[in-house]
């Protein structure tokens, strides 16, 4: 069910929510958090709502979407409420702010927050340089950005690394979960030798590649070379050098990788690129500071850069919106 409320107020929106609840129990009361989404355009708005609806099946939420309308228009709020099949296990409130109200997102959101529930703010597109100092970020215990959605992903990542505070995270980091799991599993197999050096190969503007290299540099305490390629998307390969030989993961297509290591048969492993829905679900599972992500940011300053062309015959990966 979608209910449009043009030229409305936050009190009228709250009143309508109560009315819907009393009329037929269309809105459940068991919400575990409030998810605030700062959207830039209609396409991004719908994609973000779809991801939030899927995530709500594991994390029932009140979703408040803030979209900016024309600044030259008269000040007003166009509201929309989505419940039932159009909202997953959530209730979705869309606020489109016009005129002088376009810069007052925080004031419009506060009256709609669930009492005594954690708040998460998500910027699915271009986000603030310092999320914790943004008006919508100030409301939240957890702040989710996506460096891969920025015009200059690496610069955005480095800027946020300098302004990091507890509660900040990035979907470019969440997309690395499968890579990190595979590398840790490989190191758990014999021979149990110390890694002496490492390299991470990926697209020049891939923030996930940077973060994976930073994580390895911080936790292995060895030199890590960041190798840049222009013929593939996202992360392409990781190599961990050990006295008996290298552990190598190579993923040319964004879906399936090969793991090779001394004394073990070559294995094919699943390394598909994760979509925003999966990443959002994972991020909403925890509201405490992500200390491992913070360590990966610290590791960015320890990388050495290099440019290298991939070996002949290694195909370029298919382009995707989120590259990891």
Range list of H helices, the chain: 10-24, 42-55, 105-109, 153-162, 171-174, 177-187, 207-220, 276-283, 291-299
Place of tokens 């779809």: 50
The two three-digit tokens of residue 47, written as one number: 């994609």
**Average pLDDT for runs of 10 along the chain of length 324:** 94 91 62 92 89 91 93 93 78 94 94 94 96 97 97 96 97 97 92 94 96 97 93 92 96 92 92 94 94 96 63 37 63
Q: Alpha-carbon distance 276 to 264, whole Å?
A: 34
- Of the candidates 209, 191, 187, the one whose C-alpha atom is nearest the C-alpha of residue 200 is 209
The two three-digit tokens of residue 19, written as one number: 């009315």
Q: Alpha-carbon distance 39 to 178, whole Å?
A: 28
Tell whether omega for the bond before 191 is within 30 degrees of 0, i.e. cis: yes
Q: How many CB atoms lie within 10 A of CB 177?
A: 14
The predicted pLDDT at position 238 comes to 98
The two three-digit tokens of residue 60, written as one number: 């029932």
Task: Considering only CA atoms, give the Rg of the chain.
Answer: 22
Q: Alpha-carbon distance 275 to 261, whole Å?
A: 29
Residues 147, 207 contacting (CB under 8 angstroms) = yes
The answer to whether the pTM exceeds 0.95 is no
The backbone torsions φ and ψ at residue 40, rounded to the nearest 5 degrees and listed phi first, read -100, -35
Cβ neighbors of 319 (< 8 A, separation 6 or more) are 233
Q: How many CB atoms lie within 10 A of CB 38?
A: 27
Q: How many CB atoms lie within 10 A of CB 194?
A: 10
């Amino acid at each position: 069910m979608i209910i449009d409320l043009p030229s409305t107020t936050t009190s009228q929106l709250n009143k309508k929510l109560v009315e819907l609840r009393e009329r037929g129990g269309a809105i459940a009361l068991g919400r575990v958090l409030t998810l605030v989404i700062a959207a830039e355009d209609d396409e991004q708005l719908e994609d973000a709502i779809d991801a939030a609806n899927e995530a709500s099946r594991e994390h029932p939420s009140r979703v408040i979407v803030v979209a900016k309308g024309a600044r030259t228009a008269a000040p007003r709020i166009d509201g929309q409420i989505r419940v039932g099949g159009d909202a997953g296990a959530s209730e979705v409130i869309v606020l489109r702010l016009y005129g002088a109200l376009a810069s007052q997102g925080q004031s419009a959101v506060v009256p709609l927050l669930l009492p005594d529930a954690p708040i998460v703010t998500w910027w699915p597109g271009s986000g603030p340089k310092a999320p914790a100092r943004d008006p919508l970020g100030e409301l939240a215990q957890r702040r989710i950005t996506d460096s891969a959605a920025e015009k200059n992903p690496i610069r955005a990542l480095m800027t946020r690394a300098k302004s990091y505070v507890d509660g900040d995270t990035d979907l470019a980091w969440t997309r690395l979960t499968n890579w990190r799991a595979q590398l840790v599993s490989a190191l758990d197999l014999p021979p149990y030798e110390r890694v002496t050096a490492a390299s991470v190969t990926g697209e020049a503007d891939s923030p996930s590649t940077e973060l994976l290299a930073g994580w390895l540099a911080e936790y292995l305490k060895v030199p890590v070379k960041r190798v840049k390629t222009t013929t593939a998307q996202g992360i392409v390969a990781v190599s961990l050098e050990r006295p008996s030989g290298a552990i190598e993961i190579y993923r040319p297509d964004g879906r399936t990788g090969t793991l090779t290591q001394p004394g073990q048969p070559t294995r094919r492993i699943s390394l598909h690129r994760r979509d925003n829905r999966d990443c959002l679900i994972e991020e909403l599972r925890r509201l405490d500071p992500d200390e491992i992500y913070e360590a990966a940011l610290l590791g960015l300053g320890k990388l050495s850069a290099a440019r290298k062309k991939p070996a002949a015959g290694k195909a370029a990966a298919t382009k995707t919106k989120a590259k990891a």
